[in-house]
């Protein structure tokens, strides 16, 4: 009797600056395609200087920990001042980015601060999750934004 060999996938977090160049190019191709900056895989691989075969070989093996693609959920902990429209401004940022809001939990104000726990789908967003966080951090009344969970 022959046993079939099944192995669990192993995952590693690796800094981008130590990855082989091929993986960085694959990520750039995925970004170009995700944001519709090119019309085809062929156009994207030519732009970044990668072979189509290398792209197809590695495209499912690598992804960003916070790219917000493939319909996965992102959860943010946002601390805002208890001011008029602080909460509304946060929601406006999410809506303008085309995030699909899944859950929204708000604490009672404590010492003038409100804690928000927001979970959203990022697959239809028109900006990367990293950029959304930057915009949120610059929003009037927002004290801090912490990424709790992200795709990957």
Give 36-68 pLDDT, tens digit per residue: 888 999 999 999 999 999 999 999 888 776 544
Per-residue pLDDT at 152 exceeds 70:
no
Structural domains of the chain sorted by starting position, each given as residue range(s) with its CATH number in brackets = 16-58 (no CATH), 73-149 (3.30.70.260)
Indicate if the alpha-carbon torsion angle 43, 48, 51, 52 is positive or negative: negative
Q: What per-residue confidence (pLDDT) applies to 114?
A: 94
Q: Which of 52, 48, 51 is nearest to 27 (CA)?
A: 48
Distance between CA atoms of residues 95 and 92, nearest Å: 5
Q: Are 152 and 65 in contact (CB under 8 A)?
A: yes
Distance between CA atoms of residues 29 and 37, nearest Å: 10
Q: Are 44 and 38 in contact (CB under 8 A)?
A: yes
Per-residue pLDDT at 133 exceeds 70:
yes
Helical pair 86-96 and 129-137, crossing angle rounded to 10 deg: 150
Summarised one tens digit per residue, pLDDT across range 84-106 is 888 899 999 999 999 999 999 99
Per-residue pLDDT at 14 exceeds 90:
no
| Mean pLDDT for the chain overall | 87
Per-residue pLDDT at 69 exceeds 50:
no
The fraction of the chain above a pLDDT of 70, given in percent, is 88
Per-residue pLDDT at 1 exceeds 70:
no
Per-residue pLDDT at 150 exceeds 80:
no
């Amino acid at each position: 009797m022959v046993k079939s060999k099944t192995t669990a996938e192993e995952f590693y977090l690796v800094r981008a600056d130590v990855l082989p160049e091929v993986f960085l190019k694959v990520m750039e191709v995925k970004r170009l395609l995700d944001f519709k900056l090119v019309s085809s895989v062929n156009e994207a691989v030519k732009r970044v200087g990668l072979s189509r075969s290398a792209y197809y070989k590695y495209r499912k093996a690598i992804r960003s920990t916070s790219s917000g693609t493939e319909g996965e959920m992102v959860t943010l902990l946002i601390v805002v001042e208890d001011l008029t429209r602080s909460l509304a401004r946060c929601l406006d940022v999410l809506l303008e980015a085309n995030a699909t809001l899944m859950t929204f939990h708000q604490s009672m104000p404590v010492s003038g601060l409100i804690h928000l726990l927001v979970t959203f789908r990022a697959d239809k967003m028109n900006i990367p999750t990293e950029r959304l966080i930057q915009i949120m951090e610059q929003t009037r009344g927002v004290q801090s934004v912490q990424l709790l969970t992200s795709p990957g």
